[in-house]
Amino acid sequence: MNRKRNLLIGSSLLALIIACGVGQTAVEDAADNNAEMAMGDGPMVPMFEVDPLWPKNLPDHGLMGPTIGVDVDSTDTIWLVHRNTPDQFVARTEIGLVQDPPLSECCQPAPPVLAFDQEGNLVHSWGGPGTETGDYVWPGSNHGITIDHMDNVWIGGNGPADSHVVKFTQDGTFLMQIGIPGARQTGEQDGRPVFTRDSMSMDSYGRVAKIGIDPGANEAYFADGYFNKRVAVVDVDTGELKRYWGAYGNEPDDDYDFGGPYQPGEDGKQQFRGPVHCSEISNDGLVYICDRAADRIQVFQKDGTFVEEVVIAPNTLSQGSTWDIDFSPDAEQKFMYLADGQNMKVYIMDRASMEVLTAFGDGGRQPGMFFAVHSIAVDSDGNIYTTETYEGSRIQKFVYTGMGPVPPGAEGTNSQGVLWPTN
């Protein structure tokens, strides 16, 4: 996520803040950090603890289904999208209120788009199947949410017919549909629709997973996606496709022979295995793409020129290790945070070196633990928000508590474990 506000603080303003006694803790943390580094005691990293009471209960006995995307806007409002159709719940048990006749006083699916303030209060809720006006089609399986530099809301989808992206204002007013729903359907077989990849298409997409925004160029970068195997760049205002590329900046090739499933230690495949699962643009103009099933992040210039890649947890099979990323809120974006839904953790990485410094989390249901951590976002205070798909079905807040040394034995990909509150 690109920072939607300028986080640079001039020296005069900083002096005023210090004089007023505001932000003293942050200043002290920075001083401690410098002292530690001067003594050569190793890297200092952001430290966190989970807020077990965030967010507050949803009104009207609302429940979240699989939470499939999260982002933060310019006011530090936290936005998520979840799947709220009845098939995403243990229907007769969880959503008895909406059975016919109602089985109980609780509960019912909440609207799929939810937004919370930093204290966990619900401030927006809207969207979903059945709310179409005729101008757009809600994705069959909504996937990913991005708030652009104008604070508009972008949502993709990874359902079979989801070859489009929809854009709204914060109150749910429809603005634009990019791509043609169902465009990848090329026929039927045994009464079932048949869909065909087209990673060279100029007018439609292939199950877009996530969207990154470049405010300066007014461009949106689609992680395209679960079906297509490319990065697709469109104009934010018109939706016009401007350029696209595949792995290593190659032309996408839907017929590429991978030689079988992913194997640990394999040579870098010249096409994205997919899903092409995340797209984030850093302040210094680099494009970070998650090739999830290949356990790798590839980095590009904005024109598609390949820069570098890193493989994370290379022995991870099944759904892979690289699910979503975001950056620390400092202007240099020194740290990168990676959600790994297969290994149930979040990595803290040095963005410049792409080195994993430490990690936190573990598999489980309690606060601070994860079940398929799917998406990640960071607010301007450095707090982390994560969502979980499948049975996870929740959003969690990890409060930034300052800088500290990597705990002994928790360096690299080793986990610090569950970051429960200390007080």
Give me the pLDDT at residue 397, please.
98
In this prediction, residues 351-378 reach a mean pLDDT of 97
d(CA 288, CA 346): 17
40 pLDDT higher than 50: no
Q: What angle do CA 396, 114, 321 make, to 5 degrees?
A: 45
Q: Is the separation of the CB atoms in 392 and 412 below 8 Å? A: no
Taking alpha carbons only, the member of 301, 323, 304 closest to residue 312 is 323
Give the confidence band of 88 by pLDDT, cuts at 50, 70, 90. very high
Q: Is the separation of the CB atoms in 387 and 68 below 8 Å? A: yes
The residue behind tokens 């936005």 is 79
Q: Residue 252 corresponds to which amino acid?
A: P
Give me the pLDDT at residue 141, please.
96
Taking alpha carbons only, the member of 346, 305, 314, 301 closest to residue 291 is 314
d(CA 165, CA 16): 44
In this prediction, residues 337-349 reach a mean pLDDT of 98
Give the confidence band of 43 by pLDDT, cuts at 50, 70, 90. confident
Give me the pLDDT at residue 132, please.
63
pTM flag (> 0.85): yes
- pLDDT tens sequence across 163-191: 999 999 999 999 999 999 999 999 999 98
| Token pair listed for 345 | 């953790």
- pLDDT tens sequence across 92-151: 899 999 999 999 999 999 999 999 999 999 999 999 877 666 789 999 999 999 999 999
- pLDDT tens sequence across 97-112: 999 999 999 999 999 9
To the nearest whole number, what is the mean pLDDT of the chain? 90
- pLDDT tens sequence across 267-290: 999 999 999 999 999 999 999 999
Contacts 24+ apart (CB under 8 A), 300-308: 300/231, 300/245, 300/249, 302/214, 302/217, 302/219, 302/233, 303/243, 304/231, 304/243, 304/244, 304/245, 304/249, 305/249, 306/248, 306/249, 308/354
| Token pair listed for 39 | 């003594």
Strand order through the sheet with 208-214: 208-214, 219-224, 230-235, 241-245
403 pLDDT higher than 80: yes
Buried/exposed code over 213-231 (b: 16+ C-beta within 10 A; e: otherwise): bbeeeebbbbbbbbbbbbb
Domains in the chain, ordered, with CATH? Answer: 11-405 (2.120.10.30)
67 forms beta bridges with 82
In this prediction, residues 72-81 reach a mean pLDDT of 98
Residues in the chain: 423
**DSSP states of 48-111:** EEE-TT-SPPPGGGEE---EEEEEE-TT--EEEEE--SGGGS-HHHH-GGGSSS--SS--EEPP
21 pLDDT higher than 60: no
Give me the pLDDT at residue 41, please.
65
| Token pair listed for 152 | 């508009």
Q: What angle do CA 220, 72, 223 make, to 5 degrees?
A: 30
Evaluate the CA torsion angle 217, 165, 143, 309 in order and state its sign. Answer: negative
Q: Is the separation of the CB atoms in 195 and 185 below 8 Å? A: yes
238 pLDDT higher than 70: yes
The residue behind tokens 């017919």 is 161
